[in-house]
């Protein structure tokens, strides 16, 4: 890996994002809108908002970065630029890490704005430290980026790539414990839930919300980081210098 090349990729991806202010506005604005709606729906029953507000704050970046990355990487694959990059002195991990850094940096901005609104105006309260919520949001964004890079290999059109969002992301959100406690799930659902990375991301957020930053919390964080590394490695395996 090379710092110069990884940096070049990150700077380039950020420059491309900057060229598309409407997407930027949507990425930051939509989670703000959704958190506001959530607060309004549970108005007067603010206990529910307190319970789901913080986990959702941490999960939004996962969803948006998964989508944005899978489409950006698909464009790279279909436009011929990937083939061109593969003839240059550029390692596969340089490319993936460059993407991860660029979208991670952007996730910092997204998480900062959304949490400022949610903690400030909407009055969400967490028992644990707020910066940990923001840090987990960024880690989830990188996880979304890594998974998006990987699944882009299985799409040939942008329509297909968009469909991977409900296919890959929704089951994870349904089974992560946000809607139904994992303890009351049927055995096979529980097993699926154990296999999904988002489960551990959710649990880490829930631990932060209740300020139980214990060994379980540490294990959750380690598993999330491991999943990021695994998804990046799988993504690298889908990049081929030689194609048929």
Partner 1 sequence: MDAIASEQLHVVRGGKVVLPGLTCTVARGSVTGLLGPSGSGKSTFIRSVVGVQRIAGGRVDVLGSPAGARQLRARVGYLTQAPSVYDDLTVRENLRFFARVLAAGAEAVERAIGQVALTDVADRVVSRLSGGQRARVSLATALLGEPELLVLDEPTVGLDPVLRADLWGLFHELADAGATLLVSSHVMDEADRCDSLLLLREGRLLAAATPAALRERTGAAQLDEAFLRLIRGEGEGAE
Site residues for partner 1 per CB under 8 A: 4-5, 7-9, 11-12, 15-16, 19-20, 79-81, 83-90, 241-244
Which residue, 15 or 41, is less far from partner 1 as judged by CB?
A: 15
Question: In 3D, which of 54, 104, 7, 85 has the Cα closest to residue 243?
Answer: 85
Residue 12 or residue 216: which is nearer to partner 1 going by CB?
12
Nearer to partner 1, 85 or 113 (CB): 85
**Rounded-to-integer distance, Cα 162 and Cα 155, Å:** 9
Q: Which is nearer to partner 1, 95 or 149 (by Cβ)? A: 95
d(CA 97, CA 93) in angstroms, rounded, equals 6
Query: How many other C-beta atoms lie within 10 A of the C-beta of residue 22?
Result: 8
Question: Closest approach of Cβ 232 to partner 1, in Å?
Answer: 19
Nearest distance from residue 158's CB to partner 1, in Å? 14
34 burial type by CB count under 10 A (0-12 exposed, 13-18 middle, 19+ buried)? middle
- Nearest approach, Cβ of 8 to partner 1 (angstroms)? 4
Provide the minimum distance between the beta carbon of 94 and partner 1 in the complex, in angstroms, as a whole number.
Answer: 8
Task: Note whether 74 and 152 are within 8 A (CB).
Answer: yes
């Amino acid at each position: 890996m090379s710092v110069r090349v990884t940096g070049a990729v990150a700077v380039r991806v950020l420059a491309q994002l900057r060229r598309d202010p409407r997407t930027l506005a949507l990425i930051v604005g939509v989670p703000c809108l959704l958190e506001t709606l959530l607060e309004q729906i549970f108005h007067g029953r603010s206990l529910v908002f307190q319970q789901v507000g913080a986990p959702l704050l941490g999960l939004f970046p996962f969803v948006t970065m998964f989508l944005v990355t899978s489409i950006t990487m698909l464009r790279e694959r279909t436009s011929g630029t990937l083939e061109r990059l593969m003839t240059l002195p550029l390692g596969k991990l340089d490319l993936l890490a460059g993407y991860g850094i660029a979208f991670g940096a952007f996730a910092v901005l997204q998480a900062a704005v959304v949490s400022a609104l949610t903690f400030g105006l909407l009055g969400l309260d967490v028992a644990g430290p707020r910066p940990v919520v923001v840090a987990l949001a960024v880690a989830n964004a990188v996880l979304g980026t890594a998974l998006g890079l990987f699944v882009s290999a299985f799409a040939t059109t942008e329509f297909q790539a968009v469909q991977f969002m409900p296919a890959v992301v929704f089951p994870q959100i349904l089974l992560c414990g946000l809607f139904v406690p994992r303890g009351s799930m049927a055995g096979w659902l529980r097993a699926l839930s154990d296999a999904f990375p988002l489960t551990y991301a959710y649990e880490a957020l829930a631990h932060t919300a209740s300020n139980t930053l214990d060994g379980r919390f540490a294990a959750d964080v380690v598993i999330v980081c491991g999943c990021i590394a695994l998804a990046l490695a799988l993504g690298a395996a889908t990049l081929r210098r030689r194609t048929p």
